[in-house]
Structure 1
């Protein structure tokens, strides 16, 4: 029996509204720091959200929150609490309280992003890759949002962005709980199992899917973070001022949302595993070709190269999440998705720090070769155990 048509649309809209807490905040941080004259680096404030998310997902996974309680209700409460933590930004006057606010926002996002995928998996058994493609696609557009907001904050006070995103998150939470009840494929666990998030790694298929996702995450967020850097390096080396960096950064990241949707449809014909592996291979090849693109490509070819990279770098994300959900025991599916998110986002911090530390040590055009280690590791993990999925 197919779920009602409004289910997937509601999940996608609610997820996009609620994750705006994460990405829209980044877009106003520069204005916030300047306006309040706060002695905090933007990197620290941004990292606070990431660390909050990692701690939140670890705690949610260990306590098996989304498998013991209604995922829609967990989503609602985390959306409301995340909106409140985001909203208090407008009252902050000292640096440490802003860090605390962003950390808390990231913590409650742990009950939004992976829980949204859990809710989708409870409704869509067949065609889950396509459904998660829409879901992650909406998240990708949200990721590109800060580049748009850099323009928006020149027209309106930054506080208006905070008001809007907090309101949207609250609306998203209520949409989810009112229109998306617990799905037909949901199987709950009644007891607390602090080891469930670790014992699931004993399953070979789950471990292969998770390792593929981890390799993908090594590349993904670092590429997104360094898109403006890639554009700046190219313009400096070729002596041109052709690119509007915020404009093209938005499109290079946002086009990945379309790729997620297309990847979901392609996976229905060629299989989830091999579609994911193809995207991961292509993004690894882009890492290896990046020196040549920076040195020799014409402006048009360079932009097309980055747009293609922006597509393949994320197209496999919903597919790996699909493999994780399908290979996990049904009663701990939410916990499985949450712990994989936790480890994956922790890997992004390591990758970002490694690339940042090497910026002054190696030639800029060679820097992004290091990102190819992620796809290589992911492919080895994915095929080592010969998954059945």
Structure 2
């Protein structure tokens, strides 16, 4: 009887506070993840000040991804995300990220900068997956919409440095870096003093070992969702990293000077941030109507077609280029929440944090390769064909989702 009463109280607690919790989790994630591309957004200034070329500049993003992977692996193997209050983990990581990101503004060269970006990635590994776990705890049902809104916050947060540059043109890059750190501190404050405690967050688990990962690796629906996510990630972060440079190079046919920089920055935010936020929310809503797997297949088909065709808009009228880029920005992120939702659906609650962190660790490892190779391909085949290599990822994802549908049909 007491167990039933406790379950009822949990259910009432969730129903009453889950949308409030979603708002605060999403806002905290938006603020904290401004750290992600804070250096990449000011890369043109860094290239001039530090004398970097495009390939060297790509390591400003890649070093974050490497830090994220190492941090995610440590979290997965230690089980930290399933053993402690996720709000505290998120808050501590946000403060740590704010500090190392702030120190980046004091660095005077590439090597020091890359080391600090690496530690920023470690911090983010305890922010993004933890936010997904928090959201999954608050939303035992209708996770698609909730995680979709969370991914929208991630997208807006990741692209917010571009918006800062747009709103404060010609600002010194160090100011933008410090603004990102301030936002991360605000995220920590939200987690520490505002967000209510999740109903099941006090549940303890045993320490995680390599043997503990075996159930995840043997869970076919979880691994099919992971394969889809890996293909999705092959495309996503390479697109987010290099699309602003593609737009700038393409717009040079029509614009120059400050007009070129302001226009390309505006459309980088619109096609990555705003389009991505729309895609995340709409994707979550549509998935409730047609199913997570079918929505993912639809998004993957559209994004793969965009990656194959965007190059043909290079040097085309700005409206054509932006239209294709906006469709790509919507489709490329619309399926992201679904892979996390599928893992949450088929994983046990006691190792949900580990399952999500494992998925993200491997997914971000994949991004290192694609981020690195885009500028290499640009030097070999030009912008017309460079992005077409990203279509490999969605093709893998389509196969994984079709296989998952067949599995669920028995």
Give the structure-2-normalised TM-score.
0.86
Q: Measure how far apart 1:265 and its partner are.
A: 1.3
CA RMSD after TM alignment: 2.6
- Which residue in 2 is equivalent to 1:82? 97
1:159–1:211 distance in 2 versus 1, CA, 3 Å? same
1:343–1:191 distance in 2 versus 1, CA, 3 Å? same
Deviations 1:177-197 (CA, angstroms, capped at 9, x unpaired):
333344235574432121234
1:246 corresponds to 2:265: yes
1:140 corresponds to 2:160: no
The whole-number CA distance in structure 2 between the counterparts of 1:155 and 1:3 is 46
Q: Measure how far apart 1:32 and its partner are.
A: 5.4
Q: Measure how far apart 1:100 and its partner are.
A: 2.2
Gaps of 5+ in 1: none
The whole-number CA distance in structure 2 between the counterparts of 1:376 and 1:53 is 25
- Which residue in 2 is equivalent to 1:179? 194
The whole-number CA distance in structure 2 between the counterparts of 1:157 and 1:375 is 38
1:277–1:185 distance in 2 versus 1, CA, 3 Å? farther
Deviations 1:326-378 (CA, angstroms, capped at 9, x unpaired):
12221111111111111111111111223333223335423322211111101
1:346–1:271 distance in 2 versus 1, CA, 3 Å? same
- Which residue in 2 is equivalent to 1:117? 132
- Which residue in 2 is equivalent to 1:6? 20
Q: Measure how far apart 1:290 and its partner are.
A: 3.3
- The secondary structure found in structure 2 opposite 1:359 is helix
- The secondary structure found in structure 1 opposite 2:205 is coil
Q: How does 1:195-234 map to 2 (within 5 A)?
A: 195=210, 196-232=212-248, 234=250
Q: Measure how far apart 1:222 and its partner are.
A: 1.5
2:64 to 34, 43, 49: 49
- Which residue in 1 is equivalent to 2:368? 349
Gaps of 5+ in 2: 1-10
1:259 to 248, 260, 279: 279
Q: Measure how far apart 1:299 and its partner are.
A: 4.2
Deviations 1:146-169 (CA, angstroms, capped at 9, x unpaired):
323444564544333333322221
- The secondary structure found in structure 2 opposite 1:208 is helix
The whole-number CA distance in structure 1 between the counterparts of 2:171 and 2:214 is 47
Q: Is the contact made by 1:27 and 1:149 (CA closer than 8 Å) also made in structure 2? A: no
Q: Is the contact made by 1:208 and 1:383 (CA closer than 8 Å) also made in structure 2? A: no
- Which residue in 2 is equivalent to 1:103? 118
Deviations 1:218-263 (CA, angstroms, capped at 9, x unpaired):
1111222232343355446xx4339722221111111111110111
Give the structure-1-normalised TM-score.
0.90
- The secondary structure found in structure 2 opposite 1:192 is coil
Q: Is the contact made by 2:149 and 2:281 (CA closer than 8 Å) also made in structure 1? A: yes
Q: Measure how far apart 1:110 and its partner are.
A: 0.6
Q: Is the contact made by 1:217 and 1:345 (CA closer than 8 Å) also made in structure 2? A: yes
The whole-number CA distance in structure 1 between the counterparts of 2:225 and 2:70 is 22
The whole-number CA distance in structure 2 between the counterparts of 1:232 and 1:379 is 31
